Chain A
Amino acid sequence: MIKTEDYIKNPLKEKEVERKKAERSERFSTLLAHLGLVLLTLVWLYPIVWIILHSFREEYRDGIFVGIVVSHYIPKGFGFENFIRLFTTTLFPRWFLNTLFVATASFILSTMMTLSVAYVMSKIKFKQRKLFLNLAIILGLFPGFMSMIAIYYILKSLGLTETLFALILVYSAGSGLGFYVAKGFFDIIPNSLIESARLDGATNATIFTKIVLPISKPIIIYTALLAFTGPWMDFIFARVILGETNRQIHTVAVGLYYMVHGSQYADGNQFTMFAAGSLVVAIPIVTLFLAMQRYYIEGVTAGAVKG
């Protein structure tokens, strides 16, 4: 028979018991953590799965297609009716091409401008550098929203609203002011690299295009990703600049929004079609994001810490 005192006095055994105890509590907290994560995932996926399910919903009541929001989460019938209607009865294909055009043009312009300004502010020492840096920060403080409303009135009085071209300018013209994250990236590139290239007789332009840009892939991708996805996600600038009446020139966000909300074309029965359109827009954008997530996370973290 083992006495309790022996048990306690044995240091090896004591440790063993403690380790087991710790292990058990560790296993318990791990289980709890996984449970919590599953629960949170369900909450976060609830609306996303809902949209996906209802984009494939095909329900009829008395032979009439039902497109409104319904109270059951899982549809009673599935099919491609919403997608077929979306592509044949609405201007969605047109909106998609419009957005693709705006996104491509403004991502090229914005990426070039943002990286250029960032590089200048980081690596080229010129006389008015500090002045420009301060000016950029003060100008960046003006809410883009405020100038958007002014731009709307200006373009309207000149008869220039409701063109995709205006939208591209609005998206990209001020993009150079968002140079901080990219500047932070360029700051880390050692100056010695640039100086030695200078000693070899390289011009500033050669250094930028042949030496700096090739090693800046992460920041180029981050900047381009945000600039390209921006027009797909933006709703309010496009709504204000493009107006309501000319549906030919809408982007996907505006077109889909007006389908269910806030316009003369809005119709609650088009909700499932809205869901189908959302899916068509979301799939490429989300795929792009997930494929580039490494660069995105790097950029976000750097931007946040630098402030």
Chain B
Amino acid sequence: MDKKNNFIVETLQRFGNAFVRFAQAIGRLFKGFIARFKDGSTGTKVAHLIMGFGNLTHKQYIKGALFFVLQIGFLLIFMLNPEVNDTPIGFKALQNFITLGTEEGDLFGRLADNSMLMLLFGVVTFGLIVVFLAAYTANIKSSYASDLMVREGKKPLTFKEDLAELLDSRFHVLLITPTIIGVLTFTLLPTIFMIFIAFTDFDREVVPGLNLFNWVGFENFAQIFTGSGEIANRFLPVLSWTITWAFFATFSCYIGGILLALLINKRTVRFKKLWRTVFILTIALPQFISLLAMQQILSEHGPVNAMLMNIGILDEPFAFLGQARTATTARISVLTINLWIGVPYTMLMTSGILMNVPKDTYEAAQIDGATKFQAFRNITVPYIIFITTPYLITSFIGNITSFNIIFLLTGGDPNVPGSVAGQTDLLVTWLYSLTIEEGDVNIGSVIAIFTFIITASATLLSYRRSKAYKEEDTFQ
């Protein structure tokens, strides 16, 4: 109980500290602006209004021109509102973001406002503003830095020298800029867009450009918990199967993998490399091949059913997967096939660890008269568990979002009458059929947010505990 309280207090404190630090950072930012404005040269002061001016006074022509072009470009976009697919980016986009479009379409071919693009461009415009503010700050800082160099009697850096800096003292900027751009456009922007969609009524009735959708607040979230209808009825069953699946999939592969690794690494076992290669083969084989093969092998007319009937175990073909008569059958089948996929991976990982079990502890135990089994139980097992805890958690998270296995084996079936979500559907596969196949993008987004909350809290918990974080600097 005490420990739990401590944890909560600690977490709250962390959030509190983060908040205070954030406020302090904002304060420093403002102080910096004031200080630079007061202390800077006239050029720097003008640069607060006309970007690049400070650099020009320091004869940094190219840099100054770049800043100036950037400012003009931004202002032009913001004022002129260029249109992409009849939807403006710029000042109007911010208005559109609030209304999500007013123009209804009609039967005579007049198109409606495209609510989806309006939402998207609202986010994009906001992003442009943030980027512009960053450039604005950089412009003043750069000018002020040149001021300081002049005061010290040095010459401000030329454009060439600036570029050379990118290879040396500012090398990190060069190295991470491509990733920052990529992540902003392909991870952050889509994610923010998706989160906003969760607060709209963008469902299967809406075709962007033909009808409008609107902001609805927390209605979709409320619908999942208190509504009556397909989504509300299926949410808890799917959620609980997702957790169950992740739990059993993680631990079955974990235990299976360790046992297999122990077997292969047994001192007297020969052809170790051969055995290991067999199992690496299954990792290297693309999953869409192995899973589709599995699905066909287990199908009604496949060889497994034929074999079982030949031996006399079955009288008629048995449905293992999507057509299974009970949910439990299909679930046990996918968990079993998951072993085929997952065990080799854990085996590989634990093989490396097994070779590193501290030998001296082992020998000391044997001198003290411990049997092999005792040594195994009291030394090997705790050691493996200790080392692989972070892996267990990451693989739990991986299983929560494991899409391929369910999608390719059962497609979420056995069917639940009147529902998109079948008996083996996980949150992610349900999310997929809701959005891509049915077009209920808003509900799909809510489910995506829930999936994120589950995986994120598990990750944060493990991350706080992981060696990599705590000992971040001890290696260096």
Whether both chains belong to one complex is answered with yes
Q: Does A191 contact B (CB under 8 A)?
A: yes
Whether the Cβ atoms of B171 and A233 lie closer than 8 Å is no
Find chain B residues with CB under 8 A from A50 CB. Answer: 293, 297, 303
Q: Does B435 contact A (CB under 8 A)?
A: yes
B118 to chain A, nearest CB (A): 10
Flag the segment in B140-148, B185-193, B357-365 that touches A. Answer: B185-193
B366 to chain A, nearest CB (A): 13
Find chain B residues with CB under 8 A from A297 CB. Answer: 348, 351-352
Find chain A residues with CB under 8 A from B432 CB. Answer: 145, 149, 236
B157-189 Cβ-contact flags toward A at 8 Å (1 or 0): 000000000011101101110110011011110
Find chain B residues with CB under 8 A from A143 CB. Answer: 401, 428, 448, 451-452, 455
Find chain A residues with CB under 8 A from B266 CB. Answer: 29-30, 33
B22 to chain A, nearest CB (A): 11
Among A124, A184, A206, the most chain B Cβ lie within 10 Å of the Cβ of A124
| Interface footprint category on B | 35 or more
Q: Does B5 contact A (CB under 8 A)?
A: no
Given the known A-B contacts A30-B269, A191-B476, are A290 and B281 also in contact in the complex, defined by CB atoms under 8 Å? yes
Q: Which of chain B's residues has its CB closest to A51's CB?
A: B293
Find chain B residues with CB under 8 A from A191 CB. Answer: 476
Q: Does A64 contact B (CB under 8 A)?
A: no
Whether the Cβ atoms of B191 and A142 lie closer than 8 Å is yes
User: What CA separation (Å) do A305 and B388 show in the bound complex?
Assistant: 6
Among B117, B175, B393, B455, the most chain A Cβ lie within 10 Å of the Cβ of B175
Q: Which of chain B's residues has its CB closest to A42's CB?
A: B278
A144-167 Cβ-contact flags toward B at 8 Å (1 or 0): 111111111110011100000000
Q: Does B349 contact A (CB under 8 A)?
A: yes
Q: Does B264 contact A (CB under 8 A)?
A: yes
A192 to chain B, nearest CB (A): 10
Whether the Cβ atoms of B178 and A300 lie closer than 8 Å is no
Among A47, A275, A281, the most chain B Cβ lie within 10 Å of the Cβ of A47
| Interface footprint category on A | 35 or more
Chain A facing B: main interface SS: helix
A212 to chain B, nearest CB (A): 12
Whether the Cβ atoms of A159 and B85 lie closer than 8 Å is yes
Q: Does B132 contact A (CB under 8 A)?
A: no
Flag the segment in B55-63, B105-113, B224-232, B458-466 that touches A. Answer: B458-466
Q: Does B407 contact A (CB under 8 A)?
A: yes
Find chain A residues with CB under 8 A from B401 CB. Answer: 143, 145
Whether the Cβ atoms of A36 and B263 lie closer than 8 Å is yes
Find chain B residues with CB under 8 A from A113 CB. Answer: 178-179, 182
Q: Which of chain A's residues has its CB closest to B18's CB?
A: A134
Whether the Cβ atoms of B302 and A69 lie closer than 8 Å is yes
Q: Does B335 contact A (CB under 8 A)?
A: no
CB under 8 Å from chain A, chain B span 338-394: 340, 344-345, 348-349, 351-353, 387-391, 393-394
Q: Does A40 contact B (CB under 8 A)?
A: yes
User: What CA separation (Å) do A187 and B271 show in the bound complex?
Assistant: 35
Whether the Cβ atoms of A73 and B190 lie closer than 8 Å is no
Instruction: Tell which of B183, B263, B290, B302 touches A37, judged by Cβ atoms closer than 8 Å.
Output: B263
CB under 8 Å from chain B, chain A span 181-238: 184, 187-188, 191, 203-206, 208, 229, 232-233, 235-236
Whether the Cβ atoms of A293 and B280 lie closer than 8 Å is yes
A97-138 Cβ-contact flags toward B at 8 Å (1 or 0): 000000000000000110011011000101000001000010
Given the known A-B contacts A51-B293, A145-B403, A154-B120, are A176 and B182 also in contact in the complex, defined by CB atoms under 8 Å? yes
Q: Does A8 contact B (CB under 8 A)?
A: no
Binding site for A on B (CB under 8 A): 84-85, 114, 116-117, 120, 167-169, 171-172, 174-176, 178-179, 182-183, 185-188, 190-191, 193-194, 197, 208-209, 260, 263-264, 266, 268-270, 275, 277-290, 292-294, 296-297, 299, 301-303, 305-307, 340, 344-345, 348-349, 351-353, 387-391, 393-394, 401, 403-404, 407-408, 428, 431-432, 435-436, 441, 444, 448, 451-452, 455-456, 459-460, 462-463, 466-468, 475-476
Q: List 19 A-B contacts (CB under 8 A).
A: A29-B266, A30-B268, A34-B269, A37-B263, A48-B282, A50-B303, A70-B303, A149-B194, A152-B436, A174-B183, A235-B408, A240-B436, A260-B292, A278-B289, A289-B283, A297-B348, A300-B352, A305-B388, A307-B391
Q: Lowest 4 CB-CB distances: which A-B pairs, in order?
A: A307-B390, A176-B179, A150-B190, A71-B306
- With A33-B266, A73-B303, A307-B390 known, 5 other A-B pairs at CB within 8 A are A44-B278, A142-B187, A150-B193, A233-B286, A286-B285
